[in-house]
Chain A
């Protein structure tokens, strides 16, 4: 069979109308695990207020990209800029681990598919959220309590359950606690890794609705990893498609879903819709 994956209609110009600089700019990102090249020369830009979706099958490297952007593990190569006044570094990967930790804490929020990765399951939910402020040095109990309450309310978590530990909550509620924790310090960048995967359909809908609402109200720049094209269609403005660690196609969400160009993207879309 002939390989026609490079058949792209018309190559696109660089952005001219968009008035802001990208908030996130990543170039030449590479990550190996042993001999496996999990992420292979990935470039991406996310503009302020935008939701960028990353799709691809399991093992395509999409979650690895998110972990690298969350500065959880070192990249083997590449540069990563977060274009906000508080961050001066040209490449976040080059910072030491204390600086990385500070950036992660103050400017990046993350929601994982598995709540136990993001939460202390035995602490109260309010405590999980307030912990973010504790790290920044806040010690006033009333301030911590109010911040936890407000953040949980923003993620539409019921106030009367804020002192229950995540361990006794449903999956959907646990995701809301993760979200509240992620947004507690009003980060510049929100990373969502399969935030609704594993939830039953009706709960998934309400969590998605919360994410959409929050995104609209706070206009927070977001990178969303999901293999669920329905989730991507609901939330993402643009999409990058990954396969074998590489970006094989990028486009507006409706274009990727309705007129996919690459062989793999067509398989993905035709299989899911």
Chain B
């Protein structure tokens, strides 16, 4: 079952004060099925994160369509109303970044619990504790403000926050950067469980070997063209 069909997807930034159009990618086509993991590869600055941000609509794509098959029917992420994107972010599409955005005077536990609060059932705090345990944040830090944490500790909070809610599509932007081996393993395990539940993922990974066993296909961005092949065995090496 396809969850996402992307056709002619194009992004350029228009910077007014330079009066310049900066092209990023052009006429991208790909599709993603439920439970599939797509790895985005290519050199630095080629637009891997930009692709994820366009799909999440932090960036506005320039042209093309991204047909997302939501529980409510098919929505073109390129042109859906902002409030509809809000609904999808709330309920179906998650974005996992490599940086936490701590808020002053909000504890690690609260930061995680507030995104879990809408799911009902198990209390948000209990869920948040379970997630922080899973990603290995020391309990003595749960009540502390993450602004003072190390990069790795912040990232544990970030992962717990991003993955606490059930999603149908996850956009992963280098989530393993700054993580130690044990946490990378926890993340890979979590992603593997989610994949088994049918969650589709598109990810940019600095060290794809962490998730090699999850990868079904690859989009390779290059300056000349975009290629998609079924062969990703080299990734595992």
- Spell out A's residues near B (CB within 8 Å): 1-2, 4-5, 7-19, 47, 50, 202, 205-206, 208-209, 212, 216, 234, 237-238, 250-252, 254-255, 258-259, 261, 263, 266-267, 270
Contacts and interface: CB of A to CB of B under 8 A. Distances in A.
B86 A252 contact: yes
Interface string B7-34: 0000001111101000000000000000
Nearest to A19: B87
Contacts, number: 107
Contacts of A12: 79-82
Interface in B72-87: 72-73, 75-76, 78-87
Contact of B103 (A209, A238, A259): A209
Contacts of A234: 103
A261 B13 CA distance: 9
19 contacts: A4-B19, A9-B60, A9-B63, A10-B60, A10-B63, A10-B79, A12-B80, A16-B75, A17-B70, A47-B83, A208-B104, A209-B104, A209-B106, A216-B114, A216-B117, A237-B86, A252-B58, A255-B57, A258-B59
B19 A1 contact: yes
Nearest to B101: A233
Contacts of A7: 14
B165 interface: no
A259 B76 CA distance: 19
Interface residues of B, number: 36
Given A258-B59, A263-B16, A18 B105 contact: no
B61 A10 contact: yes
Contacts of A8: 60
B53 interface: yes
Given A10-B78, A259-B59, A18 B83 contact: yes
A100 B220 CA distance: 60
A17 B104 contact: no
Nearest to A264: B16
Contacts of B4: none
Contacts of A238: 82-83, 86
Contacts of B13: 259
Contacts of A205: 104-105
Contacts of A1: 19
Nearest to B14: A7
Q: Which of B15, B87, B117 has the most CB of A within 10 A?
A: B87
B38 interface: no
B15 A18 contact: no
B88 interface: yes
Given A15-B84, A17-B70, A252 B57 contact: yes
Interface string B51-66: 0010001111111000
Contacts of A237: 86
B69 to A, nearest CB: 13
A252 B84 CA distance: 10
Interface in B97-130: 103-106, 114, 117
Nearest to B85: A252
Given A205-B104, A266-B17, A10 B72 contact: no
Given A266-B17, A270-B17, 7 more contacts: A11-B79, A12-B80, A13-B84, A16-B73, A18-B81, A252-B58, A259-B13
Contact of A258 (B15, B53, B81, B117): B53
B105 A206 contact: yes
Contacts of A18: 81, 83-84, 86-87
Contacts of A17: 70, 72, 75, 80, 83-84, 87-88
A71 B76 CA distance: 38
A237 B78 CA distance: 18
Contacts of A267: 16-17
Nearest to A1: B19
Given A234-B103, A255-B60, A258-B53, A266 B15 contact: yes
A251 B53 contact: no
Contacts of B62: 9-10
Contacts of B104: 202, 205-206, 208-209
A16 B81 contact: yes
Contacts of B82: 12, 238, 250-252, 255
Nearest to A46: B83
Contacts of B85: 252
Contact of A259 (B60, B75, B80, B83): B60
